[in-house]
Amino acid sequence: MSKILPVSVAVLLTGMALLPVACSKHDEADKKPKVAKTTDPIKVLSYTQGYQLGSQLPEEIDSKQLAKGIEDGKSHKPARYSEEDIKNAIAAYQKTLEEKAQSLNTKNATFLADNAKKPDIKTTASGLQYQILKEGTGKAPTATSTVKVNYEGKLVDGTVFDSSFKRKEPVDLPLTSTIPGWVEGLPLIKEGGSIMLYVPAKLGYGEHSVGSIPANSVLIFKVDLISVK
């Protein structure tokens, strides 16, 4: 077995979050064309293998080049790139990641510092920033409650990565299965309430990349608490 694939995958694959709020790819999946189904077992298994591989790959991967590599490897053709080519590509990619991470860290730190100065923003001891839009009048959740919510999550640059508002589909979530920022933030309001949460990376996904969310990202959520179960 070639040693190239494990090395490349180790460098390119991003980490998985342990406690996602919800799947952040609902909207993306809805836009994709449906794949025609088949009963041919080889085609079914081939598609499944490709799907499982694709679900683990970062967005930066060039699907066309990936397909060429698979075809060349399957045909036992000589590799198009030497070990030196691969080593140089890995070094260049790592440098790009480091530059992106540094830029993102600067933007996140600046955002939190500026946001904390706003008169309507409060900051907890953990560093969670929040703004209560509506306190609500019903039952308040605890850290172990299951809640029904509508929410939108976005990055500091305004990119929306998930929205139950857009899907018009509130979700039921055990708070213990969500990120720490939610576990701490949702009990600050009651049923019928609404809150903005500004979640530092350490209270979000930390060093893990999740879907379109880069590692070490500050997460901004607007959450409407519908009910507590």
Mean local confidence (pLDDT), 124-142: 96
44 or 7: which leads in pLDDT:
44
User: What's the pLDDT at 35?
Assistant: 61
Range name among 8-22, 83-97, 105-119, 143-157 with the lowest pLDDT average: 8-22
User: What's the pLDDT at 82?
Assistant: 95
Sketch the domain layout of the chain as residue ranges: 41-75, 122-228
User: What's the pLDDT at 226?
Assistant: 97
Angle between helical axes of 83-116 and 4-12 (0-180°, round to 10): 10
Written as six digits, the tokens of 153 are 């999550």
- In order, the DSSP letters of 29-92 are HHHSPPPPP---HHHHHHHHHHHHHHTTS-TTS-HHHHHHHHHHHHTTPPPSS-HHHHHHHHHH
- In order, the DSSP letters of 121-159 are -EE-TTS-EEEEEE--SSPPP-TT-EEEEEEEEE-TT--
| Res. 208 pLDDT band, cuts 50 70 90 | confident
Q: What is d(CA 220, CA 37) in angstroms, rounded to the nearest whole number?
A: 38
Side-chain-side CA neighbours of residue 45 (13 Å)? 3
Mean local confidence (pLDDT), 76-101: 93
Range name among 34-38, 97-101, 171-175 with the lowest pLDDT average: 34-38
209 or 134: which leads in pLDDT:
134
| Res. 21 pLDDT band, cuts 50 70 90 | very low
User: What's the pLDDT at 25?
Assistant: 42
Location of structure tokens 């959520």: 221
Mean local confidence (pLDDT), 85-110: 91
Mean local confidence (pLDDT), 156-175: 95
Q: Can you give the pTM of this predicted structure? A: 0.69
Asked if CATH classification 3.10.50.40 holds for the domain at 122-228, the reply, yes or no, is yes
User: What's the pLDDT at 33?
Assistant: 56
Most confident option among 60-64, 66-70, 97-101, 208-212: 66-70
User: What's the pLDDT at 210?
Assistant: 85
